[in-house]
Amino acid sequence: MKYETVMGLEVHVELATKSKLFCACSTEFGSDINENVCPVCAGMPGTSLMVNKKAVELAIAAGLLTNSEISPRITFDKKNYFYPDLPSGYQLTQLYSPICKNGWVEIETDAGKKKINLVQIHLEEDAGKLIHDDWTDTTLIDFNRAAVPLIEIVTRPDFRSAEEVVAFLEKLRSLLSFADVSDCKMQEGSMRCDLNLSVREKGTEKLGTRTEIKNMNSLKAIAAAIAYESQRHIDALETGDEVLIQETRRWDDSIGATFSMRDKEDATDYRVFPNPDIMPVFIDDEWIDAVGSNLPETAQDKFIRLTQGLGLPEYDSEIITRSKNLSNIFDETLKHFNNPKEVANWIIVELLSIAKGDNKGEDDVRIDCRKFAKLIELVDGRTINRNVGKKILSLILEEGIDPVEYAEKNKLGMINDTSLITSTIQEVLSENPKALEEYRGGSKKVHGFFVGQIMRKLGGKANPQIVNKLLVEALKEI
């Protein structure tokens, strides 16, 4: 506890535009290799660059959501460096007039609330992607990602724990994904983060030697990298065996350690200078207001609407508002079947457990909400029982069946007929004398066994409440 870790973040977020930052090429994820490329985004000399208006608007939205000042006039600069995935030899970014400055984001951890200050948010273009082929010992380049618009969010070194870093990234993801600024999928690379870390003795002002860590592609990896790197710094300070140098390090998730990549360049190494080919973009208050008034509901506002407006428990609302996709499914399903608690239950208990079984995250669940609503209504109205409902839900997801038609066609209607259920109970009891003996001997477990047998005889369609009630009565009489 003698030391404290001081951290800052640089978060790259891919903007949810349909086209690239300076041309009309598509930004679609998963296109064929080099399908989306033209002379502009391939960095050919003499091309004419036009700034994507939507990208500017999404950056303004990011600024408003992070309490930032929006610059009235922005320009783009050339950051010069050579790398094969950057055909022009420079990256177009904003060094001299970033679109947003001096923002802040409030986070909440077990230690309470805290403000994380932002230095700036700037617009820039992404680079292409290198594909290394070990079989042929060659490297190929895919330019689909070249010049896709990004914002880079740069924080002040305000973080003191991995918990704070994770809380910040979760908050950022929530703010930006609910506003449709970006889908913020770390696993697909639409949200990436680099971390600056140094360690100093508690109570001292001077910052320790700083290392930058790259290549962390999940929140879990980030937390693990922070733990590892902090300890490496502390060990170096304590034992003096290793000398800390300012450098960039790569996190290797499979090994659970960071490795040196290269010495950190200083900004001057890049020879950044203004790009005279792109006209400045002027941003007036009217434009900012228009973007602000079109912002969708934030997760926080949605949470309040769900708990206070619809009376949902905080637990349910928390889960639903954790993902833009889930909360869209909730709202859309509610339009067709207005029972918030039931819809929430089906999403949280059934839909998410199927998704988990298929290795899908909350953001990747897709369902026809009209059919989903019909299914919930069938179960809620006791037309079919819950177990049959679960099976139908899987079929909606896999085959897109219509639940009402399917239930009718396959005669899945719930059996409420007490005389049929009573006679089935008698059958099951008389067919299982051994189990009955165990019941008499005091074993309560066999109750569940009997229920299973009765349900099986009735094709899984019996009303479980009636089965339970009649079984309890039947067993009393024995």
- 55 lies in the site for Zn ion, by CB under 5 A: no
| Options 37-45, 193-201, 210-218, 386-394: segment touching Zn ion (CB under 5 A) | 37-45
Q: Please tell me the distance from the alpha carbon of residue 242 to that of residue 235, in angstroms, as a whole number.
A: 8
Is 38 one of the binding residues for Zn ion (CB under 5 A)? yes
Nearer to Zn ion by Cβ, of 41 and 446: the residue is: 41
If the CB atoms of residues 50 and 349 are measured against Zn ion, the closer one turns out to be: 50
Output the smallest distance, CB 49 to Zn ion, in A: 10
Question: 37 or 384, CB closer to Zn ion?
Answer: 37
Least distance to Zn ion from the beta carbon of 41, Å?
A: 3
Complex with Zn ion: residue 43 or 98, whichever CB lies closer: 43
Instruction: Candidates 6, 15, 21, 41: give the one binding Zn ion (CB under 5 A).
Output: 41
Span 120-159, contacts to Zn ion by CB under 5 A: none
CB nearer Zn ion, residue 144 or residue 211: 144
Q: Please say whether the beta carbons of 99 and 59 come within 8 A.
A: yes
36-44, 88-96, 243-251, 315-323 -> range binding Zn ion (CB under 5 A): 36-44
CB of 36 to Zn ion, least distance (A): 7
Compute the least distance from the CB of residue 143 to Zn ion, in Å: 8
* 38 vs 154 by CB, closer to Zn ion: 38
Of the candidate spans 32-40, 48-56, 122-130, 468-476, the one that interacts with Zn ion by CB under 5 A turns out to be 32-40
* Shortest Cβ 164–Zn ion spacing (Å): 39
Q: Quick one: 38 or 304, whose CB is closer to Zn ion?
A: 38
Minimum gap (Å) between residue 56 Cβ and Zn ion: 18
- Give dist(CA 316, CA 177) in Å, integer: 20
CB of 152 to Zn ion, least distance (A): 21
Binding mask 368-397 for Zn ion (x = CB under 5 A): ------------------------------
Please tell me the count of residues contacting Zn ion according to CB under 5 A.
Answer: 5
Q: Which of 335, 338, 354, 356 is nearest to 393 (CA)?
A: 354
Shortest reach from residue 62's CB to Zn ion, in Å: 23
98 versus 149: smaller Cβ distance to Zn ion: 149
Closer of 38 and 186 to Zn ion (Cβ): 38
Q: Between 145 and 171, whose beta carbon lies closer to Zn ion?
A: 145
Q: Are strands 77-80 and 273-274 parallel, antiparallel or unpaired?
A: antiparallel
Q: Which one, 41 or 55, has the nearer CB to Zn ion?
A: 41
CB 146 to Zn ion: min, Å: 8
- Tally of CA atoms within 13 A in the half-sphere of 378 that contains its CB: 27
> Please, what is the minimum distance in Å from the beta carbon of residue 20 to Zn ion?
5
Segment near Zn ion (CB under 5 A); pick from 35-43, 72-80, 219-227, 308-316:
35-43
Dihedral of alpha carbons 262, 267, 268, 274, sign? positive
40 touches Zn ion by CB under 5 A = yes
Residues 12-31 that bind Zn ion (CB under 5 A): 23, 25
**What is the nearest approach in angstroms of Zn ion to the Cβ of residue 18?**
13
Residues of this chain that bind Zn ion (CB under 5 A): 23, 25, 38, 40-41
